[in-house]
């Protein structure tokens, strides 16, 4: 089953010097994502699956597919816990 990643609401975001900076309007919490986090954020359009994001990470960083999927899944869970993204089993229209 595919899992799709969608950006959280009420967040501001900008790439500053190569790092994605995310700021929450609700509690002013501030996050600076690393490169993998930035790839996940930029892909989190609700129509791109975790598997597709992991495939992109494989291409970008030349890592094996199993490790990439594990890392991306864990990263998405961490971002979801922080309210930066959420996941859905259905793709957004």
Partner 1 sequence: MTSHVLDRVRDRAFAERIPLAVHFDLTYRCNERCVHCYLDHEDHGEMTTAEVKDVLDQLASSGTLFLTFSGGELLLRKDFFELLAYARQLQFDVKIKTNAILIKEADAVRIRDLGVRQVQISVYSHRPDVHDAITKVRGSLARTIAAIRFLSACGLKVTIANVLMRQNASDYHGVRALAKDLGAEYTLDPTITPKMNGDTSILALRMPEAQVLHLFKDAAVVGEGFCSLPTEADAETLDSAPCSAGHIACYITPYGDVYPCVQFPLPSGNLRQQRFDDVWHHSPQLNEVRSIRTRDLTTCPSCTYVSTCTRCPGLAYMEGNMRGPSSADCEKSMLRARAASPEGASE
Query: Which residues of the shown chain bind partner 1 in the complex (CB under 8 A)?
Result: 9-17, 19, 21, 23-26, 28-32
Closest approach of Cβ 89 to partner 1, in Å? Answer: 26
Closest approach of Cβ 65 to partner 1, in Å? Answer: 31
Return the biggest CA–CA distance within the chain. 38
Calpha distance 66→58 (Å, rounded): 9
Nearer to partner 1, 30 or 78 (CB): 30
Nearer to partner 1, 4 or 31 (CB): 31
Strands (E), 10-84: 11-16, 19-24, 30-33, 45-49
Nearer to partner 1, 24 or 51 (CB): 24
Closest approach of Cβ 1 to partner 1, in Å? Answer: 30
Cα separation values, 69 from 13, 26, 57, 74, Å: 25, 31, 9, 9
């Amino acid at each position: 089953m595919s899992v799709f990643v969608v950006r959280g609401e009420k967040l501001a975001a900008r790439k500053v010097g190569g790092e994605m900076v995310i700021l929450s309007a609700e509690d002013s919490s501030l996050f600076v994502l690393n490169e993998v986090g930035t790839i996940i954020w930029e892909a989190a359009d609700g129509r791109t699956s975790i598997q597709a994001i992991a495939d992109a990470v494989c291409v970008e960083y030349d890592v094996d597919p199993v490790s990439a999927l594990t890392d991306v899944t864990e990263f998405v869970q961490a971002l979801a816990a922080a309210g930066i993204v959420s996941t859905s089993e259905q793709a957004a229209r």
